[in-house]
Structure 1
Amino acid sequence: MCLTILFTSGFSVFTKGNWDTAGFISSYLDIPLVTGAYLLWKVLKKTRFVSLDSVPLDSAFEQVDLNPEEPEVEEKGWIRAVSWIWN
């Protein structure tokens, strides 16, 4: 979804008669900048790509099942009236 938005956000500059260099640069310059920064970080910090198979999701789900969160207490009175501001 994000890639679709990223690649199509500046599509209007490619339509006939709408070419705008500034619009093209502002829409698509972030793609090589972010990719370059990510790869530079990977090289400098010598981190590796983590495969999805090595992520321990099963144990995390088991821990959530064993330790459920307490249900939220329903507010009453004036706190309930203004709680929509912060929730």
Structure 2
Amino acid sequence: MALNGQAPKWFAITSKRGVPYVAVLFTIAIGTLAFLNVSNTGAVAFQWFSNLSTISGFVAWIVVMITYIRFRKAMQFHGMMDVLPFRTPLQPYATYFILFIVTLLTLTNGFQVFVPSNWSASSFLAAYITIPIFLALYLGHKIWFRTPFAIKVEDVDVLTGKKEMDELAAMDQPPIPRNWLERVWFWLA
């Protein structure tokens, strides 16, 4: 990611053998925080990490679904829906429904903190800190690099690389099983 400009450049520093040791050390440092769970107050740290990872996953899926909806609209605009090799049933309605459910889960993740006897600023932050962090990073990136917040459907490029991918798909032939065991394995896989 650092080589693509999507992470700080110092993560790309490597050893003579090409090992990105700065990124590895940073990952190890985050991993060692798991040892906080050994202490008596480790449950609080575990709750923070659990909520951060859960909501981060939800936010990632929300972004994926919004991206899919935009991609689908661009494919419809360019009249290319028939060239998709695989189309799932109930689309795009299933995506809208799941987007609603995941957004609802994200916003109600810390519902127990709103019960008056359970109110705690620490629990509230643990449940909801990921949302403002994501928004600050996303909006900060958009403002800093002056990129549009959304590309118009008519400007989405769905043709670049299509010829190459079509050629690769044409070359992709299913393997021929040599015996009954491979036939079963290829059917399962």
TM-score by length of 2: 0.33
Structure 1 residues 71, 17: closer, same or farther in 2, change over 3 A? farther
Greater relative contact order: 1 or 2 (C-alpha under 8 angstroms, separation 6 or more)?
Answer: 2
Matched, 1:73 2:180: no
**Equivalent in the alignment of 2:115:** 15
Structure 1 residues 71, 3: closer, same or farther in 2, change over 3 A? farther
Structure-2 separation of matches of 1:37 and 1:16: 32
Q: CA deviation at 1:44?
A: 1.2
TM-score by length of 1: 0.61
Secondary structure of the residue that 1:47 maps to in structure 2? coil
Structure-2 separation of matches of 1:22 and 1:73: 56
Secondary structure of the residue that 2:136 maps to in structure 1? helix
- Hey, which bits of structure 1, 4+ residues long, moved more than 6 A? none
C-alpha RMSD of matched pairs (Å): 3.3
Secondary structure of the residue that 1:17 maps to in structure 2? helix
Query: Gaps (5+ residues) in structure 2?
Result: 1-98
Structure-2 separation of matches of 1:71 and 1:33: 45
Query: Gaps (5+ residues) in structure 1?
Result: none
Residues 34-83 of structure 1 show CA distances to partners (whole Å, capped at 9, x for unaligned) of: 111111111111111312342245x58x86xx658335437618xx3xxx
Secondary structure of the residue that 2:117 maps to in structure 1? coil
**Equivalent in the alignment of 1:55:** 156
Identity of aligned residues (%): 22
